[in-house]
Amino acid sequence: MACLAATAVLAAGCSGPVEVETPAVTGKEAGTCAALVEALPGSVDDAEQRTVEPSDAPAAAWGDPPIVLRCGVPKPEEFDEFSTCQETDDVGWFIPDDQMTGRPEAITMTTIGRSVNVEVTLPPEHWPPAAAMVDLAPAIKETVPEIDPCV
């Protein structure tokens, strides 16, 4: 009986929408973000996609705790011309140095060198970030043009 109750609680935890802070995107950026959200995979790092709130947000989420993607975010404050990028499947990502500890922890990674910035937050349960990077790369490459390669 306790297992059934625990299963019901876990299922209920995943059933609700994930609330996301909505980036302000308009015009061409809004079109790019809409195309990206439409092209995203149904699962990332073996986590199934969930609905987001607001439902028209340029965002997506997977799993519980959720991996959250937001399109149209500003360039990270920590990023400058001396920052390094992690390139996976032809998509460059910036992860702040203080989050590159080599051990499981929450990280925020942002695409660099694309027409629109895409931010992905990963809970420690999805560390290291390589699987999420690989799963997201095809949709990003297909819909968000590269304008300046991350080097």
148 assigned to some structural domain: no
pLDDT, tens digit (0-9, with 9 covering 90-100), for 46-91: 999 999 999 999 999 999 999 999 999 999 999 998 898 999 999 9
105 assigned to some structural domain: yes
Number of domains in the chain: 1
6 assigned to some structural domain: yes
Q: Bridge-partner residues for 122, per DSSP?
A: 107
The whole-number pLDDT of residue 12 equals 38
Average pLDDT over residues 136-149: 96
* Residue-range definition of the domain harbouring residue 92: 2-143
119 assigned to some structural domain: yes
43 assigned to some structural domain: yes
64 assigned to some structural domain: yes
Predicted structure pTM score: 0.89
39 assigned to some structural domain: yes
150 assigned to some structural domain: no
pLDDT, tens digit (0-9, with 9 covering 90-100), for 26-49: 999 999 999 999 999 999 999 999
The whole-number pLDDT of residue 78 equals 94
Those residues with Cβ within 8 angstroms of residue 144's Cβ, 6 or more apart along the chain or in another chain: 32, 36, 71, 111, 114, 115, 116, 118
pLDDT, tens digit (0-9, with 9 covering 90-100), for 92-123: 999 999 998 889 999 999 999 999 999 999 99
